Amino acid sequence: MNPQQAIRALSALGISQSAIARDIGVSQPTINRAAKGGDIRFSTGQAILDMHSRSIASSDAEASPTLDTNLRQISLTGQSTVGAVNPSSSTELA
């Protein structure tokens, strides 16, 4: 991945060029130039890639607790609650 692709991916996550610039300590025009494939410092490109990695890691971390909680419930109860039927609410047929 290059800085230009990382900026596109960050933008797809709803992160503005101004926010990227603020986070890595450069101006928004520098991010705009990088987004267009223009010349930027190596350190700026690396900072953009690092921000992208952090953003991906944090979005993965946000998704994981739900999965972890569901897996923990299954292991504690021995069954999934998805689609389970509550026997006390069932109506007996005569």
pTM over 0.75: no
- Does some domain include residue 84? no
Asked if residue 94 belongs to a domain, the reply is no
Distance CA 61, CA 9 (A): 17
Range of the domain at 64: 3-74
Q: Is residue 83 one of the residues assigned to a domain?
A: no
Number of structural domains (the chain) is 1
> What's the Rg (C-alpha) of the chain?
23
User: Would you state the pLDDT for residue 59?
Assistant: 72
pLDDT tens digits, 44-75:
999 999 999 999 887 766 665 555 555 555 54
Q: Is residue 91 part of a domain?
A: no
pLDDT 10s digits, 27-48: 999 999 999 999 999 999 999 9
Is 81 part of any domain? no
Cα 15 versus chain centre, distance: 11
CATH of the domain at 17: 1.10.260
Q: How many angstroms separate the CA atoms of 41 and 84, rounded?
A: 57
pLDDT per residue as tens digits for the range 12-28: 999 999 999 999 999 99
Residue 93 is encoded by which pair of tokens? Answer: 């047929």
Q: Is residue 70 part of a domain?
A: yes
Please report whether residue 24 resides in a domain.
yes
Distance of CA 89 to the CA centre of its chain: 40
